[in-house]
Structure 1
Amino acid sequence: MSLSDGTVVTYPAGATTSTGTVAGVMDAGGGRTAIVLDATAFHPVDTAWPDQPADRGMLRVGDAVYDVVDAVIGATQGDGLLLGPDVPVRTGTEGWTFVVAHLVEDSAIALGDPVEVEVDAAYRAALSAGHTACHLASLALDAALAEAWTKPAPTDALGAPAFDSLAIQESRIVPDGSRDVYRVGKSLRRKGFDPAVLDDVASIAARANGLLAAWIATGAPVHVEAPGETLAARRSWVCALPGGEARIPCGGTHVSSLAELRSAVVSLEAHSVEGGLELVMTTAAVRA
């Protein structure tokens, strides 16, 4: 394959269709073929932090249509292409070229073929709403837990102690929502977090939901900021909230305005686990 700069991606700006040229074809195993394009609107799942699943959609080559059964990040240092779990570095690591690999079955697609990309726009919209709601919920949770800290702690995009980034273990975006799992153990307690506050998760959720309602009511614009067009560019979610402009590193897709959301509500559950507590936050968004 030959992709000196990596795949140009247009999904950060909201695109759900694109045209590109096949720059790489690789056997992905299991009867699947990885098709790499020089440009695509297709959002892939990131192996290092697989919060948002891959888009659904198809590739059209002439009169032939191929369903994309998965889309993953591929990486190369100039000799051979590694896919998905085999990529040993984070996207954007210097010295590596990063691409979007569209996995299809029974493919006759060849190098140099022109390809039309069509993304399932309805599914994308649901994931984008879920991802924006997830970021808002993380900031609201940080604010709701601000008084639980007994020591100065690193802060989030709005200046609150960054519980989310310090305790997060797993985040999964689902259509119109998300599920985030946090670990509260010795490390977090040493940083000054008092887990006793989690005895009343209903009050914490109520405070977070109050903030979410106020933020969504502003209808603030949302955009994804990127220093470049390729997959390797380190993108950020940006939203002007009443507490200041929030900027969070993110490679996913989002709504273009909080006016696209009617509401977002979180629920919290705390469970005892070995060495501490596990806090699960479920976020449900309703689109306007």
Structure 2
Amino acid sequence: MTLPLEDTLVGYPSGETVNSTTVLHSEPLPDGRLAVILERTCVHPVDAGWPDQGADRALIRVAGAELPVLDCVVGATDGGTLHLGRDIPVGKGTEGWAFVVVHLLAGDAVIAEGETAEVVVDAGYRGRLSAGHTGCHLASLALNRALADRWKKETRADGLGNPDFDGLAIDVSLIGENGSTDTYRLGKSLRRKGFVTEGFVDGLAEVQAQVNASLAGWVATGAGVRIDRDGDRLNDRRYWVLELPGHTVRIPCGGTHPSSLADVGSARVELSTADVDGATVLTMATFVG
């Protein structure tokens, strides 16, 4: 069977943790692992373009065997060669290319193209990652709100109408179980966009207090959370939607999330700064649950 020429069907955006499917492709990799592509999967993969949320823990049941998924990544193919992660040579949506979810198994795994398989995700681990991801979005909105008066130029707004500090200053975002860590660089580029850095470090405790107050208020609403999507394929656009009282927030997002803020339980952040190569770097650690 040749490599697929359609993007993988994905069920994880709707919260799916179990699905039946057909094995489309299986090939050994130079590192000794086995790359497996399924027609449909509920396993969330790592995207090399923005690897903030890691892969689900999962297994594939086939022909009476349970095969652990060692890792899961986004790949791409033109029908001839499979490219993984950062080795993908084209952008998403390139004509003639399919973007696929690649399940990486042990090299001695036995799984044949055309077989029927059942995919099972560790729902508890998924739930903790999902809570961490929603907490990350909430914290970014709360940080934007707390820093709204530090802009001296008009700039793009976030989903609540505040200047989008998070979107303009983010360096690295990592989603973990029941939390996240985001780092922001407050350098020359951000200052040219109109952000005022003078006195930022001295006022950090007050910013943290304001962020945590916003988080407590939002979580207390138990507001609904959902993923809107343009389709069921891997590359179809998806959005995190939060239904706060009186305001709907919509953010592009390819990750997984709980169905309401009631599932988050609680949320708080700890802010810290460091000097890196002459620029202030802000770290926001978010904790939920």
Structure 2's unaligned 5+ residue stretches are: none
SS at match of 2:209: helix
Correspondence for 1:284: 287
Write out per-residue CA displacement over residues 148-190 of structure 1, whole angstroms, 9 at most, x where no aligned residue: 1111111111110000010001000000000001011001001
Correspondence for 1:76: 77
Structure 1's unaligned 5+ residue stretches are: none
Q: CA deviation at 1:90?
A: 4.6
Q: Is the 8 A contact 1:98 1:232 kept in 2?
A: yes
Write out per-residue CA displacement over residues 31-64 of structure 1, whole angstroms, 9 at most, x where no aligned residue: 2001000000000011111100000010000211
Q: CA deviation at 1:263?
A: 0.6
Structure 1 vs Structure 2 CA RMSD: 1.3
TM (norm. structure 2) is 0.96
TM (norm. structure 1) is 0.96
Correspondence for 2:154: 152
1:215 aligns to 2:245 (yes or no):
no
Amino acid at match of 2:18: T
Q: Is the 8 A contact 1:149 1:193 kept in 2?
A: yes
Correspondence for 1:135: 137
SS at match of 1:193: coil
Q: CA deviation at 1:108?
A: 1.4
Instruction: State how far apart, in whole Å, the 1-side matches of 2:157 and 2:94 are.
Output: 25
Instruction: State how far apart, in whole Å, the 1-side matches of 2:194 and 2:246 are.
Output: 24
SS at match of 2:166: helix
Cα 1:90/1:208, change in 2 over 3 Å: farther
Correspondence for 2:239: 236
Cα 1:19/1:49, change in 2 over 3 Å: same
Cα 1:178/1:89, change in 2 over 3 Å: farther
Select between 94-103 and 64-73 the one with higher mean Cα deviation: 94-103
1:1-288 pair list within 5 angstroms: 1-93=2-94, 95-105=96-106, 106-196=108-198, 197-242=200-245, 244-286=247-289
SS at match of 1:73: strand
Q: Is the 8 A contact 1:168 1:182 kept in 2?
A: yes
SS at match of 1:116: strand
Q: Is the 8 A contact 1:215 1:242 kept in 2?
A: no
Instruction: State how far apart, in whole Å, the 2-side matches of 1:40 and 1:219 are.
Output: 30
Amino acid at match of 1:207: Q
Q: CA deviation at 1:95?
A: 4.5
Q: CA deviation at 1:94?
A: 5.0
Instruction: State how far apart, in whole Å, the 1-side matches of 2:269 and 2:29 are.
Output: 39
Share of identical aligned residues, percent? 51
Say how many residue pairs are matched.
286
Amino acid at match of 1:137: A
Write out per-residue CA displacement over residues 190-249 of structure 1, whole angstroms, 9 at most, x where no aligned residue: 111011223221111110111111111111111111101010111110111246211111
Q: Is the 8 A contact 1:54 1:70 kept in 2?
A: yes
Amino acid at match of 1:192: G
